[in-house]
Amino acid sequence: MLTRSRLYDQGVFPSKAAARRYLLSARTAHPYAEDLLATAQTQPRVLAARRIALFVSKGLEPKTGSLIDWLLARGCEVLLPILYADNDLGWGVAPGAADLVPGRLGLSEPPVDLGPDAIATADLVICPAVAVSRDGVRLGRGGGSYDRALARVKPGTPIWAAVYDDEVVDALPADDHDHPVDAALTPNQLIVLRKSLDE
Residues of each annotated binding site for ATP:
138-146
115 exposure class (CB count in 10 Å sphere: 0-12, 13-18, 19+): exposed
* Number of helical (H) and strand (E) elements in the chain, helices listed first: 6, 12
Residue positions forming the annotated binding site for substrate: 56, 61
| Cα-Cα end-to-end distance for the chain | 44
Alpha carbon distance 27, 99 (integer Å): 29
Q: Distance of CA 7 to CAs 2, 14, 28, 175, Å? A: 6, 9, 19, 21
Residue positions forming the annotated binding site: 56, 61, 138-146
